[in-house]
């Protein structure tokens, strides 16, 4: 056995192979010490060496669930890479499960924090994640199906759903997409999202990524499917609708009318962040007569010192704010605050005093940026961030009527999207009703 394995892993110097001879048996052993943990000591080495008893050892081979027959030589390489120990005892081959799981602390959510909701987030370990999910959604009908994806990384993933609630059609569509997955390295849930979405779905996300176990449990109870990835903090949920991206978990825990108000605020914020820069261009350069005279004069007066057309002003400011957002994500925390202060000062005061941009534009920029952060989901918020440039371009050509027409086109686009065959944006369609009971 050792020779065959050595042949397969020619240059893997970190592979450990040996023949352990305790005087009675000569046992061949092969494993990667870096992938295995201390369980190997109690499970293999101690019973084989100074506590050795052939009968007891045979009993253990048959009864310990960690031992399994591994008679197929083709499987050996795969097993070893997954953290199994391969043994050849009395001419028979066994695998012993001893994969190392880093002791992960369950920590608080970093991307989707809530005020009073549960303060746990998923970790990068699949088993702990499964534990966290079972803690909140623990019924016998919860189905877990394991898969392996990525030709090099062999990342294991679980497809989790409640088989009483799930829509079989969607499950089938998911398996079809999973078969198509072609990846060498599967390292993050984002890659999986890209692989699972169709080509014409690339602007708005049609799969939700979340780090909150309570959200996953909530979605499972609505008949949705979760895909959990080993080594990723984020779990994929599908099929989803646009509202799910605008939904914070706090909405489930706070008072009813307060939540309605907050949701309304969020939608208004999205509308503002998409259209405000475009409306600024349209009002300043095309149709100042729309506003009443006083406001039109105020806007024009604030632009008195600005030497170029409004769209250049908008592009300058939006570039600044986008750069600032990018910088504050990438920079380490300590330097980050400096960058934001400097950027904020430049954006806020100096640019306006220098006559490079109008003060109204500064307000527009900050409203756009703040409104964008109101969206609870990062992926969706980035799509929205992209959308506003389309509106700016149309406003440069057509003015305010162009903005209205493009808004219509956007609604049509969103209504035309499907997330695994389910409508993405539709009002008042009760989804639980459509599910087979």
The distance of closest approach from Cβ of residue 423 to another protein in the complex, given in angstroms and rounded to an integer, is 6
Main-chain dihedrals φ then ψ at residue 19, nearest 5 degrees: -110, 115
Say whether 212 sits in a helix, a strand or coil: coil
Q: Decide if residue 421 touches another protein (CB under 8 A).
A: yes
Query: Omega of the bond prior to 301 within 30 degrees of 0, cis?
Result: no
Sign, CA torsion 265/268/270/272:
negative
Residue 335 structure tokens: 């330097």
Within positions 257 to 286, which residues make up the interface with another protein, using CB under 8 A? 286
Q: How far is the CB of 285 from another protein (least distance, A)?
A: 11
Count of positions on this chain that bind another protein (CB under 8 A): 34
* 425 interacts with another protein by CB under 8 A: yes
Rounded Cα gap, residues 397 and 290, in angstroms? 17
Nearest-angstrom CA–CA distance, 120 and 193: 23
Q: How far is the CB of 406 from another protein (least distance, A)?
A: 8
Residue 319 engages another protein in binding (rule: CB under 8 A): no
Total count of residues recorded for the chain: 437
Least Cβ distance, residue 271 to another protein (angstroms): 10
Q: Please, which residue, 147 or 413, has the CB nearer to another protein? A: 413
In the structure encoding, which two tokens stand for residue 80, read together? Answer: 């070893």
Quick check: 404 binds another protein (CB under 8 A)? yes
Can you tell me which of 8, 108, 412, 434 binds another protein, judged by CB under 8 A? Answer: 412
Does residue number 40 form part of the binding site for another protein (CB under 8 A)? Answer: no
Binding status of residue 400 toward another protein by CB under 8 A: yes
Q: Which stretch binds another protein (CB under 8 A): 58-66, 149-157, 225-233, 426-434?
A: 426-434
Counting contacts by CB under 8 A, is residue 297 touching another protein?
Answer: no
Dist. CA 287–CA 274, nearest whole Å: 19
Pick from 197, 228, 194, 192: nearest CA to 211: 228
How far, in Å, CA of 413 to CA of 203, rounded? 10
With binding defined as CB under 8 A, does residue 102 bind another protein? no
Count CA atoms within 13 Å of residue 353 on its CB side.
5
C-beta of 295 vs 323, nearer to another protein: 295
Binding site for another protein (CB under 8 A): 198, 200, 286-287, 289-293, 295, 394, 397-402, 404-406, 408-409, 411-413, 415-416, 418, 421, 423, 425-428
């Amino acid at each position: 056995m050792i020779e065959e394995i050595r042949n397969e892993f020619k240059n893997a110097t970190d592979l450990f192979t040996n023949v352990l001879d305790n005087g009675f048996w000569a046992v061949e052993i092969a494993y990667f010490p870096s992938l295995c943990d201390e369980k190997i000591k109690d499970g293999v080495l101690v019973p084989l060496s100074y506590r050795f008893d052939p009968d007891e050892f045979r009993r253990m081979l048959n009864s310990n669930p960690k031992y399994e027959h591994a008679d197929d030589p083709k499987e050996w390489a795969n097993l070893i890479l997954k953290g199994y120990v391969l043994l050849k005892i009395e001419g028979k081959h066994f695998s012993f499960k001893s994969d190392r799981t880093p002791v992960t602390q369950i920590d608080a959510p970093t991307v989707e924090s809530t005020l009073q909701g549960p303060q746990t987030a998923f970790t990068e370990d699949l088993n702990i994640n499964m534990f966290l999910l079972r803690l909140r959604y623990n019924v016998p009908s919860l189905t877990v199906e394991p898969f392996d994806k990525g030709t090099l990384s062999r990342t294991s993933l679980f497809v989790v759903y409640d088989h009483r609630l799930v829509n079989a059609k969607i499950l089938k569509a998911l398996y079809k997409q999973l078969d198509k997955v072609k990846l060498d390295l599967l390292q993050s849930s984002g890659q999986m999202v890209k692989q699972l979405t169709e080509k014409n779905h690339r602007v708005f996300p049609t799969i939700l990524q979340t780090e909150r176990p309570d959200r996953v449990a909530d979605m499972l109870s609505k008949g949705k499917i979760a895909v959990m990835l080993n080594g990723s903090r984020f779990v994929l949920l599908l099929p989803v609708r646009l509202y799910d991206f605008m939904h914070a978990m706090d909405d489930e825990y706070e008072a009813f009318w307060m939540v309605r108000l907050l949701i309304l605020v969020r939608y208004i914020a999205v509308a503002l962040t998409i259209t405000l820069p475009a409306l600024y261009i349209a009002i300043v350069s095309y149709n100042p007569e729309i506003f009443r005279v006083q406001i039109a004069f105020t806007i024009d007066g604030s632009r008195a010192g600005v030497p170029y057309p409004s769209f250049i002003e908008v592009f300058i400011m939006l570039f600044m704010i986008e750069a600032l957002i990018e910088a504050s994500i990438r920079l380490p925390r300590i330097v980050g605050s400096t960058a934001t202060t400097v950027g904020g000062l430049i954006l806020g005061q100096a640019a306006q005093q220098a006559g490079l941009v109008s003060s109204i534009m500064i307000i527009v920029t900050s409203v756009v940026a703040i409104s964008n952060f109101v969206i609870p989901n990062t992926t969706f918020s980035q799509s929205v961030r992209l959308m506003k440039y389309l509106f700016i371009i149309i406003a440069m050509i057509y003015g305010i009527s162009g903005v209205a027409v493009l808004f219509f086109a956007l609604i049509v686009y969103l209504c035309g999207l499907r997330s695994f065959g389910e409508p993405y944006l539709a009002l008042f369609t009760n989804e639980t009703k459509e599910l087979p009971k």
